Structure 1
Amino acid sequence: MPTAPAPHPQSTDELFQALQENHQRPYGRTRTVTAEELVDAAEQFDEPLPLVRALLELQEAYTYGSEPRKSPVVFARLLNLFDEQPDVFDESLRHQLFWRFKWVANALLQLPEVPLVSLRQWLTEMRDRYEKADLGLQPYYGQAYQLASHVGEDTTLAYELWASRTRVRLSDCEACEICERALHHLAAGDDERALRIWEPVLAGKESCKEEPARSVSHALLPLLRTGRVDEARELHLAGYRACRRNLSMSQEVGRHLEFCALTGNEARGLELLAENRNLFDEVDSPLALLSFLTGVEVLLRRVELLGQGDLPAAGYAGRTWTVSGLRAEVRDRADDIAARFDARNGTTTHTDRRRTRLDRAPLLDALELTLRTRGLDDIARTAPAAAPAARTAAVVPDALPELILRARELEEQAHPDAPACWARLRTLVAARDYSHPDDPAVGPLVRLRADLLEDEASRAAQKEEFADAADLYEDAAALYDDAVLPQHAALARACALLTTAQIPAETPGAGADEAEATDGVEAKAVELTAAHASMVRLHEETPGLTPSQEARLLRLRGNALGLRLQTTGSEEHIAPVLAEADALHAFATRHDLAGQISGALLLRTTTHAIAGDLPTAVAEIDALLDRLKAHGPAWHLPRTLGLRGRLQFGLRDAEAAHADLTEALRLTADWPADAVDTGRLYGDLAQACLRLGRPDEALRHLTRSAELGLRGGSRTDAFCTYSNAAQLSLDLGRVEDCIALLDSLLAERDVVAGEVDDRLVAQLRLTRARALQEGEDLKAATAEFVALAAESAGWDDDPGSHAMIAGETAVLLAESGEFGRAREVADQALAAHALAPRYEQLSNSLRELARLQAQRQGPDGLADALALLADAGRIADEARAAAYQAHGRSLDSALAYEHGRVNAYAGEYQDALTALEKALTLLGEPGRDDDHAGEWAECVRLAGAVEGIYLERTAPALTRLDRAVTHLTALGHATEETEPLVALAAQLRDER
């Protein structure tokens, strides 16, 4: 990146270099302050030219840094220099000077303290200057029209005087004029005509520094009003990214906030507001600030109307804001600014326009703007986890004795409403005025405290927090002992045994060998065997167990052996699990315990599945489903259908899996959100959709799975799922969706605070950088890649990832023309590759670097390009020695082809032809079913072009091309492979 210039360059060359470097910086305080320093430095030279260029840079920094008060002052100095020494201004500088009359007119317009008469005087000055210089008055009439529109006068005549005139060299760019004409018709209420005028800009055919972002922000609501909802959504995503946090585009940000508020996306609006918090304090243009604040107020007012005024909101620095508090502040400030403009202009235009925006009703109840659909509850710091579908809340008794007894009854059944009862009891018992019922049926307080600990332990185990769960179970067992309830204590200790055995062992280091991994598996199997033996002893030594308690112990014994089988996969561990399952099934059937009968059948199913006997597993689960539908418990159905769907994956029946998982999700609506792992069901359904070739549907399910994981606290898994969703959206070409999703994730509090695994965050950033590259935002993509390459250089435990990232970074630097830096980063990639090979990725990067250098620099870049290809050649040799099989093209044939292209770009046509013929030999002629026919045909085409056009050997080139067309046609390959060859042959015949 450009380095900061010295405060006082010692020569004009140093000054001009510093001005060029500053010009590459984004607009903002750093660029502006540096420009101010460079003006001071320019004044030390006797020549006026350095000062002229420094003043031009400073005015641009003020103009696009939203400091309109300072821009006219700088321009006055430039104008004086021009009047005093016109010869200093060459044609380019003269053009810039007269162009910036419009900048000054716009700056004065933005300041309510500048009298209207002064604005008109400036336009008169502009007209006189343009007439004297014979420059044409269309730009002047454009400024006169904008003043009339700003004041609120009848613009009919002013519009005609401007729009009917022929454009001249100093007219605003086509994109900006299109926007002004469209806004004129939009103000007249003609949405359709405005959108027709905007079409070239919205389609990307006309653009400039501010366009299409400015036009997009204005077009969003007209698009909605005319029913073009999908287009509005797409333009919002792309348009917002172009203006976020940009001081000179605060008005556009405000209109995007308004768009969110009017489409049921208030939560996204608050998220975007937080991202642009800097605009409250850094925008120095009253007119721009008025528009921004009005958009903010539209959003905040909508949130208040939805009853969420107490939600946190990002506002002015220095204090914490709620939606209601910030809205009151914004309203007062915006009203004041509007009143000041109206006082200056002698109209009520700005107050009226503001009221129109604030009074707009929502245009849509809900528009899914991004892949990450969130509601206002998700913005609150303590927002509760929402159920995936509406379901009547569990009925929790009011009377305390009844509540305690109900909680125990539901817990004995493993009913999904039990947690709601325990949660209510936990709140009551924690209260300072809690009084325990004196009721023999309820029992003592110590028993209730043990019950609550056991419930807490169960929830910890579900989150795989096994160490905490084991401690809680032991504490509960001790309290049950105090309450003289040995049977309950035995069950709690059995649970503690199982959770203790599941505490993960320390993961072997990167250098661990297979023997160490095997030792870890055997150690875990020993722990589970010991846990099972201890449970059996507990069972035998605990008299007085109720049937329900005895069944639970049998179930825990079976689970211990099931986990052992899952750990080892050993055939000798199958029969013991099935024996425990059969014992549980017989006992539960004898005592009519429906839930435990289901548990026994489920244990049999999973055992057969782990053993690899999927047909038997499906038969078992089919019988279980029949029983659940007839006898219950109904809340087991979603989980069981989910398992059946996963079994269908194993049988490669994605259609059946999709049906089972869809039905499982439908049934989850009947139960509390935490009764079933709904996130897992959505994730599995996404996999089914991918296997069925329905990626867009898969994407929706992946994002739902991830968001449920975030709400449920499984944040690492959720971020991983979201990472997969982002990559899928990128693969589908939904670039803006991908970027918007990742922007939202990277703004999460724990990500910003550095509490999420740094490698996971790096993966999210890497996908975002690739999406930016795909979206042709090379500047932003390069900045992110460079940052990631620097960070990954410190990953001593993962040099392979650094090699991959550095390779991609080098390519982007080369695309920006920075070949020296690209070579440096490529060398870093090669050094990391030596430690952890990434044959294909790095070979691809080096070949692309070579192509770019030869293409951009021609013969001057040939030596460096060939050096890069030599590095790629060494990687191909290493890959061959390691018996590495490339997933894409053969590294050798791809390298030979690139030698052909590089030499062709450099004008070394004979070497190019030799390399291409080698590539054709390596590829071999394609057969009927070969998948490299397209690659072979392209290689033939390039060889034909080099031979026939550049080496002027038309006859052999035609022979080569005709033979290839005949061969491909005979094999039945697509015309897309033969058409380029036929076209080139026709060109050669015409030229001959």
Structure 2
Amino acid sequence: MPTAPQTTDELYRALQENGRRPYGRTRTVAAEELADAAEQFADPVALVRALLELQEAYTYGSEPRKSPVVFARLLTLFDEQPEVFDERLRHLLFWRFKWVAHALRQLPEVPLASLRQWSAEMRDRYEKAGLALQPYYGQAYQLAAHVGEDTALAYELWAGRARTRLSDCEACEICERARYHLAAGDDARALRVWEPVLAGKESCQEEPARSVSYALLPLLRTDDPERARELHLAGYRACRRNPAMAGEVGRHLEFCALTGNEARGLELLAENRTLFDEVDSPLDQFDFLTGVQVLLQRVEQLGHGELPAAGWAGRTWTVAGLRAEAGRRADDLAARFDARNGTTAHAERRRARLERAPLLEALELTLRTRSLDDVTPATPAPAPASRTAAALPESLPELIAHARRLEVEGHPEGRLVWARVRTLVTARDYVHPDDDGVGPLVLLRADLLADDADRAGQQDEFAEAAALHEEAAALYEDAGAAGHAALSRACALLARAELPPAPDTEENGDGDGVAAKAAALGDAHAGMVRLHEQAPALAPYLEARLLRLRATVLGLRLQTTRQEEHVAPVLAEVDLLHAFAVRHDIASQISGAALLRAGTHALTGDLPAAVTELDALQERLQAHGPAWHLPRALGLRGRLRLGMRDAQAAHADLTEALRVAADWPAHAMDTGRLHADLAEACLHLGRPEEALRHLSRAAQVQLRHGSRIEALCTYSNAAQLSLDLGRVEDSIALLDSLLAEPDVAAGQLDARLTAQLRLTRARALHTGEDLKAATAEFVALAAESAGWDDDPGSHAMIAAETAVLLAESGEFGRAREAAGQALAAHARAPRYEQLSNCLRELARLQAKQQGADGLADALGFLEDAARIAEEAGAAGYAAGGRPLDVALAYEHGRVHAYAGTYEEALAALEKGLALLGEAGAGGEHAGEWAECVRLAGAVEGIYLERPAPALARLDAAVTRLRAAGHDEEAEPLAALAAELREKD
């Protein structure tokens, strides 16, 4: 708090502001300072309100030791000055007797006798005040359940009584009743009782998050895993990182452990690592640590005890070490509670949780499914298994010869064999065989470097690839393999040409960047031709690969420029390659030439010719091979058919490509691309759920193959699609998982990609009606994007959305500031429709929330929108939705209607109808025309009390709409007309 309040008005404003903060140390410290400040005023009401705020901060900030102390002061003030407490303050005081009872139960150092004494105090106070005792009996039942006594009688004394104004809220009482049946082993009855809360019909500060955490396992036991999955996603988000809900977090960790989601459990544990140190409630600690131990115990049982785990600060933890420490502390807490209560209830409950067996082998909780192997730190591993792994030669000379034969064929399993060779060669005791077939060690090292270079190139690490190829070329020359040296140098030329243009060319504009890239690729081709001409007699397979590189580099140049003059050189090189491959019967290069020719036709826009080429290639591959080229050919044909808008055929090709790709090593088949393309086909076919599955699989494959940026982009698309499908919690959970990745959280990832992930998450939060969290994220993004000098349009869009969210929260001053930022950015990079939509919505929100008081400011927003519409018209911009001037007229009508200026509203709506014109009733804007008529009819007939002209307007519109076949649009107008006739 910058300065202490100097007046009670300032104190009340500060209390109100603090009440909007999330619970935690920041809010608690401010509440403590405000309580101290309240002492200076000779106003007991101010002190009471400050103490009430402080007790609330302690209660929901998980500091139960301090809450009763503050309440004791309040109770003393009530006894000494009861007149200070008006009806509201008196209600709050008696309500919080329950808070104190709950706080005392959480502290094992408080004797059981003191708990019972407080319970008696509550009863006496309620009776003396003439209050019904149902809340007292509720606390008595909760004490019995906590201690582990027979609860049957206590439950009946509470649940059989009618609720009062001081009873816990309906949602909290439902939770207690359901937990009673749960403790009795009746899952089905507990879930029936819980249904109003789980369905969102009853809620409060802590509900439904608390109920959800208890209901997860009963839902699994009653065979409803999908409901459990949905509730886990929503319920976890509501309690994560919240010290007052640490027990709920612990139950979500337990749920992950019992459904085959141990990796997600570790991810959630890391997200909640602060709870180890921030939770002051021993009872909440006990619940949290027991859930932590259930998770870690399961991970350890699966053989991953050495994985890193997030635990108490100041030490690096493994799963096994943290499990042992959490177990020791939780055992100690259970013993303390049981010693206080004189029972063994807490130890028994803890034992039951730890001994519970997994309920499902696997439940897909999120769109990003990961196993414990996926989160295990990478370590050197033997070559992956393959179809030929079992048949690999045992002797090193034979193994090396086999790797080289596969290299000559271009066989995808060659890399796996080279990986096995690399493992043997890098061993400490390696002795190079004296074998003429193997050749010198320098030749083998060159082969391994060339393989490393190829892998780097496939990961788009072009600088490293070029350096490795050059190093391999030098070693090949030392080994006397001049042909291999020439090929490696050609590969290095291609890798260098693939490097991004220098920053100075990018700054000069896209045209300069394209020209620089095209020049680099042209130079690379010229260098390859020289290498080819200067090389000694090459083995046919080496010469074919060199010809393939020459064609490839020109194909990349065409892809970069899309210039017609660059087409013929590509096709000429492809013809050279094809003729050479046919002459020497090199099957892999015959199909390679066909793929390059098809790609060239596609780049020129001749998709039918490209498909015809691939049809012929498919027949050849099926007859003559190589079979491993078939997935690529089918995948390319599928993408081309997507371009030809034949989604059904594309889906068939891509599905078949994935099927045949399963026969070959994953690294060579680019199954990530196949899944991504198949997702696009599914979207065109109206199968979004299937598309979502393919996007998720594509991202998983891309991550496994090291394409991290590509994977995150794909996951971003999956999150957006999930949001479009209404799967809000799935979208948020996926984005939370991505944003929690160490490199993302540390700011090491591309800043714009991170911003896109955060933007999608903010929109998902808004859709999920978490307005506070969504607004906070949008405000932060608007501040960051203000510095995007190279992309003011994106800042305009983000600032506009931020303004709308601020207005939804009633913060119109801040909304105006954000709208000003959006307008300033729009001046540099116009976003006509987005800005117009934003300004009209701001006007609507202000008029709706403030009525006549907000009219002037609302009209100010509409004036800005009018300028945007004029600019758009002058620029020849056509809106994708309603014409901007029509939308503006309609919004003027709506704003004036909210403000009660009905004549102005009617005039604005009639202007909108005039702009749409008579054709509006039968044209593409029939819906907008009908809505404009409906609102005009309501203003005229209801608010201006002129039903006759309103009915004439409505009846004429209904007739016109129905005649034009717009029956659906006519219905609201007919209903309004019937309502007016009934009133008349």
TM range (shorter): over 0.9
Which position in structure 2 is the counterpart of 1:912? 905
Equivalent-residue separation in structure 2 for 1:730 and 1:481 (angstroms): 57
Which position in structure 2 is the counterpart of 1:27? 23
Which position in structure 2 is the counterpart of 1:647? 640
Residues 1:458 and 2:454 aligned together: yes
Residues 1:734 and 2:727 aligned together: yes
CA contact (8 A) 1:642 1:681 kept: yes
Going from structure 1 to structure 2, the CA distance change for 1:383 and 1:699 (only over 3 Å counts) comes to: farther
| Amino acid in the other structure paired with 1:244 | R
Q: Which of 671, 676, 682 is residue 675 of structure 2 equivalent to?
A: 682
Equivalent-residue separation in structure 2 for 1:152 and 1:431 (angstroms): 62
Q: Which of 5, 26, 42 is residue 9 of structure 1 equivalent to?
A: 5
**CA offsets, 1:205-262, max 9 Å, x none?**
1111011111111111111222222221111111111111011111111111111111
Equivalent-residue separation in structure 1 for 2:743 and 2:389 (angstroms): 31
| Amino acid in the other structure paired with 1:648 | R
Give the match's secondary structure for 1:105: helix
CA contact (8 A) 2:803 2:842 kept: yes
Going from structure 1 to structure 2, the CA distance change for 1:686 and 1:308 (only over 3 Å counts) comes to: same
Deviation at 1:511, TM superposition (A): 7.1
Give the match's secondary structure for 2:663: coil
**CA offsets, 1:661-701, max 9 Å, x none?**
11111222222221111111111111111111111111111
Which position in structure 1 is the counterpart of 2:75? 79
Deviation at 1:707, TM superposition (A): 2.6
**CA offsets, 1:782-806, max 9 Å, x none?**
1111111111122222222221111
Q: Which of 469, 472, 475 is residue 465 of structure 2 equivalent to?
A: 469
Equivalent-residue separation in structure 2 for 1:342 and 1:768 (angstroms): 44
Residues 1:864 and 2:860 aligned together: no
Where do 5+ consecutive residues of structure 2 fail to align?
Answer: none
Comparing 194-203 with 716-725, greater Cα deviation is found at: 716-725
What TM-score results when the alignment is normalised by the length of structure 1? 0.96
Aligned pairs for 1:317-466 (under 5 A) are 317-382=313-378, 396-466=392-462
CA contact (8 A) 1:112 1:341 kept: yes
Q: Which of 866, 886, 894 is residue 887 of structure 2 equivalent to?
A: 894
Deviation at 1:580, TM superposition (A): 3.1
Going from structure 1 to structure 2, the CA distance change for 1:385 and 1:99 (only over 3 Å counts) comes to: farther
Residues 1:779 and 2:787 aligned together: no
Equivalent-residue separation in structure 1 for 2:701 and 2:363 (angstroms): 20
Going from structure 1 to structure 2, the CA distance change for 1:503 and 1:791 (only over 3 Å counts) comes to: closer
Q: Which of 939, 947, 954 is residue 940 of structure 2 equivalent to?
A: 947
Residues 1:557 and 2:550 aligned together: yes
Which position in structure 2 is the counterpart of 1:250? 246
Aligned pairs for 1:569-968 (under 5 A) are 569-926=562-919, 930-968=923-961
Going from structure 1 to structure 2, the CA distance change for 1:929 and 1:580 (only over 3 Å counts) comes to: farther
Equivalent-residue separation in structure 2 for 1:554 and 1:874 (angstroms): 60
Aligned pairs for 1:39-78 (under 5 A) are 39-78=35-74
Which position in structure 2 is the counterpart of 1:494? 490
Deviation at 1:503, TM superposition (A): 2.6
Going from structure 1 to structure 2, the CA distance change for 1:322 and 1:926 (only over 3 Å counts) comes to: farther
Residues 1:207 and 2:207 aligned together: no
Equivalent-residue separation in structure 2 for 1:355 and 1:946 (angstroms): 67
Deviation at 1:512, TM superposition (A): 4.3
Equivalent-residue separation in structure 2 for 1:786 and 1:386 (angstroms): 49
Equivalent-residue separation in structure 2 for 1:251 and 1:886 (angstroms): 51
Which position in structure 2 is the counterpart of 1:978? 970
Where do 5+ consecutive residues of structure 1 fail to align?
Answer: none
Which position in structure 1 is the counterpart of 2:170? 174
**CA offsets, 1:361-420, max 9 Å, x none?**
222221111111111122223279999999785755443222322222222222222222
Going from structure 1 to structure 2, the CA distance change for 1:196 and 1:399 (only over 3 Å counts) comes to: same
Equivalent-residue separation in structure 1 for 2:557 and 2:767 (angstroms): 47
Deviation at 1:834, TM superposition (A): 1.4
Comparing 625-634 with 879-888, greater Cα deviation is found at: 625-634
Deviation at 1:545, TM superposition (A): 2.0
Equivalent-residue separation in structure 1 for 2:384 and 2:657 (angstroms): 13
| Amino acid in the other structure paired with 2:141 | Y
Equivalent-residue separation in structure 2 for 1:255 and 1:397 (angstroms): 52
CA contact (8 A) 2:293 2:327 kept: yes
Going from structure 1 to structure 2, the CA distance change for 1:919 and 1:395 (only over 3 Å counts) comes to: farther
CA contact (8 A) 1:391 1:669 kept: no
Q: Percent identity?
A: 76
CA contact (8 A) 2:386 2:416 kept: no
CA contact (8 A) 1:389 1:669 kept: no
| Amino acid in the other structure paired with 2:132 | G
CA contact (8 A) 1:388 1:669 kept: no
Equivalent-residue separation in structure 1 for 2:776 and 2:136 (angstroms): 40
Residues 1:102 and 2:98 aligned together: yes
Equivalent-residue separation in structure 2 for 1:926 and 1:386 (angstroms): 72
Going from structure 1 to structure 2, the CA distance change for 1:388 and 1:294 (only over 3 Å counts) comes to: farther
Residues 1:156 and 2:134 aligned together: no
Comparing 694-703 with 561-570, greater Cα deviation is found at: 561-570
Give the match's secondary structure for 1:230: helix
Equivalent-residue separation in structure 2 for 1:273 and 1:523 (angstroms): 49
Equivalent-residue separation in structure 1 for 2:371 and 2:844 (angstroms): 48
Give the count of matched residue pairs.
984
Equivalent-residue separation in structure 2 for 1:386 and 1:254 (angstroms): 38
Deviation at 1:48, TM superposition (A): 2.4
CA contact (8 A) 2:799 2:818 kept: yes
Residues 1:291 and 2:284 aligned together: no
Going from structure 1 to structure 2, the CA distance change for 1:607 and 1:929 (only over 3 Å counts) comes to: farther
Going from structure 1 to structure 2, the CA distance change for 1:920 and 1:297 (only over 3 Å counts) comes to: same
| Amino acid in the other structure paired with 2:164 | V
Which position in structure 2 is the counterpart of 1:281? 277
Comparing 828-837 with 883-892, greater Cα deviation is found at: 828-837
| Amino acid in the other structure paired with 2:945 | E
Equivalent-residue separation in structure 2 for 1:438 and 1:522 (angstroms): 52
Output the aligned Cα RMSD. 2.1
| Amino acid in the other structure paired with 2:332 | D
Equivalent-residue separation in structure 1 for 2:506 and 2:962 (angstroms): 53
**CA offsets, 1:248-304, max 9 Å, x none?**
111111111111111111111111111111111111111111111111111111111
Give the match's secondary structure for 1:166: coil
Comparing 667-676 with 890-899, greater Cα deviation is found at: 667-676
Give the match's secondary structure for 2:96: helix
Going from structure 1 to structure 2, the CA distance change for 1:680 and 1:318 (only over 3 Å counts) comes to: same
Q: Which of 294, 311, 314 is residue 315 of structure 1 equivalent to?
A: 311
| Amino acid in the other structure paired with 2:226 | D
Give the match's secondary structure for 2:744: helix
Which position in structure 2 is the counterpart of 1:991? 983
Residues 1:481 and 2:474 aligned together: no
**CA offsets, 1:33-69, max 9 Å, x none?**
2222222222223332222222211111111111111
Which position in structure 2 is the counterpart of 1:116? 112
| Amino acid in the other structure paired with 2:931 | E
Equivalent-residue separation in structure 1 for 2:481 and 2:712 (angstroms): 44
CA contact (8 A) 1:858 1:906 kept: yes
